[in-house]
Amino acid sequence: MAQGSMELDFTSLLAATGFSAAVLSVVLIAAWRMSRIDRFLLTCAMGAVLIAVGVGFSALYIASAAPPLGAMAFALMLVGLATLYGTARQFSAGASPAWAVALASLLSLAVTVPPILLGLTGVGFVLGYGASAALLLMTAYHYWRARREAPGIIVSIAGLYLLVGLSFLPRAALVLLEWEAVIPGQPSNWAENLSLILVVAAIPGIGAMTMSLSQIRLVRTHRLEALTDPLTGLMNRRALFEAEGGGAVAVTLFDIDRFKAINDTHGHARGDRVLLLFAAALRECRDGDDLAARIGGEEFALIHPLSSPRATPEAALRRAEAVRARFAVLAREKEGMACTASAGLVIGDGTAGLEALLAEADRALYAAKRQGRDRLVLAQAPPTLAC
C-alpha cells in the first residue's frame, strides 16, 4: 500500500511538473510576442515545451515500462534542459545559443539514451540524472556570471537552477545504492518525489523572474534610446547633462562649417554621412573619461574632466584641435569633400554649472565663426555661478 501511495504521489507530481512547464511555455511565448527584443524568452519557452512533452512520455513509460518510451522521455527532457542551458548563455552573452544547445544535447543523449534502449535502464537512469544535474548546474553558473545586470533577480534564478540541479544527485545516488543494471520501470523513492516537488515549486519562480529580466532590459533599452542620438549613437543633450558630474572641466562646442550648404548641394543623405564622420572623429580623439554628445543639428560637445594631473587645459586644447583635424581628414578620405569645423572652448573650475559652461562655449564658437570659421576660440573668462 505504501509503495502504491508513493507511485501515486510521483505520478501526481509528474503531472504537475508537465502542467507547470506547459503553462510556462505559453506565458513566455506570449511575453516574447509582445516584445521581441529579448529572444532568450523564446529559447526558454522552447525548453519548457520539450520538458512538458518529455513529462508526457515519462507518464507513458511509468504505465508500460517500455525502454523506448523511457529513452524518448529522457531524450526530450535532456534536450529541454540543454535548451534552458542555451537560454542562460544567450542571456549572459547575447549570442545565438544554437551551438551550445546542440553540443550539450548530443553529449547528454550519447551517454543516456543508448543504455536505456539496450535495456540497461538502471545505468541509463544514473547517467540521465547525472546529465540533468550537470546541465542545470551549468545553467545556474551562466546566470550567476551575468548577475551584475540585475543582482537580486539573477542570483535568485541561479539559486533555483542550482537547487533543482542538486536534487537530481540523490536520485542518482539511490539508484546506485540499490544497484541493478536493469530496473523494472520508474524508480520510486523519497528522492524522486523531493526532486519533483522542487521542480514544481521552481518553475513558476523561474518563469516570473525570467519575464522580469526581459522587462528590466526593455526599460533600459527605452531609456538608452531616450539618451542616445539616433543617427550618430553619441549621447544627446539630456544624457550629457545626466552624465556630467561637476568639478573642473574643459567644455568644447563644435559646429560643422557651412553644413546647410552641404545638405542643399549634396543632399541630406550625404549630410548625414558627414555628421557620422564628425562623430567618428570625436570617438577617435576623446580620452577614456571624456563625454561626447551631439547637441543638435550639426553641433557637438566634448567635455574633458580636469580631474587628473595629465588632464590639463592645454591637453583639452590639443584634443579639440585633434578632433577638427581628424574630421577634415575623414571627410576628404571618405567623402572627397573639404569640410571644416569651428569650435569654442571654455575652462570651468567647478563653480559654474554645465548650462553656463555650454553657453560660454557657444559664445566662443560664434566668435570663431565671425573670425572666418575653421578655427578654435578659447573663452576669455570662465563663467561663475550667479550670486
> Each residue of 162-193: pLDDT tens digit?
999 999 999 999 999 888 888 888 888 899 99
In the chain, where the domains are located: 2-226, 237-378
For residue 113, the model assigns a pLDDT of: 95
Asked if 346 and 379 touch (Cβ cutoff 8 Å), the reply is yes
Q: If pLDDT is split at 50, 70 and 90, which confidence band does 109 have?
A: very high
Which pLDDT value is given to residue 13? 84
- 7 vs 197: CA distance, rounded Å: 14
d(CA 19, CA 13): 10
Average pLDDT over residues 352-361: 91
The dihedral region occupied by 119, where left means phi > 0, alpha psi between -120 and 50, and beta the remainder, is left
The whole-number pLDDT of residue 14 equals 87
Catalytic site includes residue 298: yes
Tell me the whole-structure pTM to 2 decimals.
Answer: 0.72
Fold match flag (2-226 vs 237-378): no
For 322-340, what is each residue's pLDDT tens digit? 999 999 999 999 999 999 9
- Residue 384 predicted with pLDDT over 60: no
Distance CA 25, CA 38 (A): 15
- Ranges 107-116, 185-194, 355-364: which has the least confidence: 185-194
Residue 386's pLDDT band, with cuts at 50, 70 and 90, is: very low
Query: Is the model's pLDDT at 303 over the cut of 50?
Result: yes
- The CATH class, in words, for 237-378 is alpha beta
pLDDT reading at 385 higher than 80: no
* Residue 6, phi then psi, degrees to nearest 5: -65, -40
Q: Is 369 left (phi over 0), alpha (psi -120 to 50) or beta?
A: alpha
8, pLDDT greater than 70: no
pLDDT level of residue 33 (50, 70, 90 thresholds): confident
* Nearest in space to 218 (alpha carbons), one of 38, 348, 82, 31: 38
Q: Is the model more confident about 381 or about 51?
A: 51
Q: SS3 letters for the chain? A: CHHHHHHHHHHHHHHHHHHHHHHHHHHHHHHHHHCCCCCHHHHHHHHHHHHHHHHHHHHHHHHHCCHHHHHHHHHHHHHHHHHHHHHHHHHHHCCCCHHHHHHHHHHHHHHHHHHHHCCCHHHHHHHHHHHHHHHHHHHHHHHHHCHHHCHHHHHHHHHHHHHHHHHHHHHHHHHHHCCCCCCCCCCCCHHHHHHHHHHHHHHHHHHHHHHHHHHHHHHHHHHHHHCECCCCCCECHHHHHHHCCCCCEEEEEEEECCHHHHHHHHCHHHHHHHHHHHHHHHHHHCCCCCEEEEEECCEEEEEEECCCCCCCHHHHHHHHHHHHHHHHHHHHHHHCCCCCEEEEEEEECCCCCHHHHHHHHHHHHHHHHHCCCCCEEECCCCCCCCC
pLDDT of residue 306: 86
pLDDT at residue 349 is higher than 80? yes
Instruction: Give the β-pairing of 341-348 and 376-378.
Output: parallel
CA distances from 91 to 150, 160, 169, 222 (A): 12, 16, 26, 18
| Range picked from 90-94, 136-140, 261-265 for highest mean pLDDT | 136-140
Q: Which residue has the higher pLDDT, 219 or 23?
A: 23
Question: Among residues 244, 298, 299, 360, which one is catalytic?
Answer: 298
Residue 3: per-residue pLDDT: 39
* Average pLDDT for 328-355: 92
CATH of domain 2-226: 1.20.1070
C-alpha grid cell, residue 165: 540541479
pLDDT of the residue at 5: 43
What is the model's pLDDT at position 382?
Answer: 59
pLDDT given at position 95: 83
- Confidence tier at 1 by pLDDT (50, 70, 90): very low
